[in-house]
A = this chain, B = another copy of it.
Amino acid sequence: MTVTAAVMPGPNEPIELREFADPVLEDGSILLQTIASEVCGTDVHLQQGRLDGVPYPIIPGHVSVGRILEMRNLTQDALGNELAIGDTVTFYDVHEICNSCYYCTIARQPNRCPSRRVYGITYSASDGLLGGLSQQIYLKPGVRVLKLPDEIDSDDLIGGGCGLFTGFAAVERSDLQMGDVVIVQGSGPVGLCAAAFASMRGAAIVIVIGAPKTRLDLALTLGADIVLSIEDKTTQCRLEKVNDITNGRGADVIIEASGNPNALPEGFSLLRDGGIYVIAGHFTDAGSCTINPHIDINCKHADVRGQWGTDFHHVASALRMLGKHNKQFPFRDIIGSRYKLKDAQKALDDVAALRVTKAIIDPN
């Protein structure tokens, strides 16, 4: 028997379907039948060759939900819940954190551990079924698997996808206080999820700036109290609106989730003195921008915080929040379209063209 997976052969080359031998399980490993895997902006960047050190060919797909087909000498998930064949699970895409380097031990920032490997991104197709765009996914020993509780449907999780965890991490990084006015720049999956978590975290007013209108409408169901379009409004209009809402002060917290360097100058103009600005949406190098250290940071007494990737606790806690709030916040509605494995390239094209917010691959 073989397993079919979608392979990205190299930068700027189209997705190909390839057959892989059935994996042989090591001790502590799990084999999943893939239920759904997401296509996100990073997958587009991978195809465009914009990330360094990617060991092409790769099987893309970093956030997935699957059903346990087989497991070897494993009885519990990463939180101690019992696991059984047939259980629906997700897993933390980041793996091989060393627990011994300066980042893991002294800085306690394992998201910057240099040994860190990521499913669907930093593993080669020759390393095995280590990406989600595949009928089966091989979870190496030590991969942190999480059983989905009954109240969470696959679509709840895959709708947010990696944006769920990145959005959670961005909100946590923002240290937002109850009662704050929060702006989210960007209405893609990261921005939408950040809006939802900002609301769950106690923001009094959540403003999402983005486009197109369909995404802004979605934002209004996912925690946004106010949406401001970048299509039909100018920066000046948005500044006036935010000043109206905040007695001229600006937002307490801004989360940059667009990945566009040009968002920063607007962000600084919308941030109140002493505010916090989380830069969460730049997972690839999209160029530079000009800032004025005196005006934007020093005199503003601003705090500008990058959030790189996630730790496992972001994933586990986001899942707990999802289980509690998925009635109120329909993350599943972020799913724009579902594709078969053979249409993976079309999914990537649709995401690249912003035709869908979140594209889902159902490989089986």
Chain B neighbourhood of A128, CB < 8 A: none
The yes or no answer to A19 lying at the interface (CB within 8 A) is no
**Chain A, 307-355, CB within 8 A of any chain B CB:** 307-308, 311-313, 316-318, 320-321, 323-324
* Distance in angstroms between the alpha carbons of A180 and B115 in the assembled complex: 23
- Selected interface stretch from A35-43, A55-63, A197-205, A213-221: A197-205
The yes or no answer to A93 lying at the interface (CB within 8 A) is no
CB pair A302–B305 under 8 Å, yes or no, is yes
Chain B neighbourhood of A79, CB < 8 A: 102, 106, 247
CB pair A179–B298 under 8 Å, yes or no, is no
CB pair B282–A293 under 8 Å, yes or no, is yes
The yes or no answer to A294 lying at the interface (CB within 8 A) is yes
CB pair A99–B99 under 8 Å, yes or no, is yes
- Selected interface stretch from A1-9, A83-91, A129-137, A283-291: A283-291
CB pair A298–B292 under 8 Å, yes or no, is no
CB pair A201–B204 under 8 Å, yes or no, is no
- Selected interface stretch from A154-162, A229-237, A272-280: A272-280
* Distance in angstroms between the alpha carbons of A285 and B303 in the assembled complex: 18
CB pair A112–B273 under 8 Å, yes or no, is yes
A191 → chain B, closest Cβ, in Å? 14
* Distance in angstroms between the alpha carbons of A118 and B242 in the assembled complex: 30
Chain B neighbourhood of A280, CB < 8 A: 298
* Distance in angstroms between the alpha carbons of A101 and B144 in the assembled complex: 11
Known A-B contacts A289-B290, A303-B305; A321 and B109 likewise in contact (beta carbons under 8 Å): no
A257 → chain B, closest Cβ, in Å? 11
Please, how many residues of chain A have a CB less than 8 angstroms from a CB on the other chain? 78
The yes or no answer to A261 lying at the interface (CB within 8 A) is yes
A71 → chain B, closest Cβ, in Å? 16
CB pair B247–A80 under 8 Å, yes or no, is yes
**Chain A, 87-130, CB within 8 A of any chain B CB:** 99-103, 105-109, 111-112
Chain B neighbourhood of A290, CB < 8 A: 288-291
Partner of A300, one of B100, B261, B291, B308: B308
Residues of A within 8 A of B (CB): 78-80, 99-103, 105-109, 111-112, 144, 168, 171-172, 177-179, 197, 200-202, 204-205, 247, 249, 252, 256, 259, 261, 264, 272-274, 279-308, 311-313, 316-318, 320-321, 323-324
A sample of 24 inter-chain contacts (CB < 8 A) reads A78-B100, A79-B102, A102-B247, A103-B274, A106-B313, A107-B252, A111-B274, A200-B202, A201-B201, A259-B294, A280-B298, A282-B298, A283-B294, A283-B298, A283-B299, A284-B294, A288-B290, A288-B293, A289-B291, A289-B293, A291-B291, A299-B306, A300-B306, A301-B308
Known: A79-B106, A108-B108, A291-B291. 18 other contacts (CB 8 A): A78-B105, A79-B247, A80-B247, A107-B252, A109-B301, A111-B274, A112-B301, A178-B200, A179-B318, A179-B320, A261-B292, A282-B299, A283-B294, A284-B294, A285-B295, A290-B291, A299-B308, A304-B304
What are the 3 tightest A-B residue pairs by CB atom distance, in nearest-first order? A179-B317, A282-B294, A297-B306
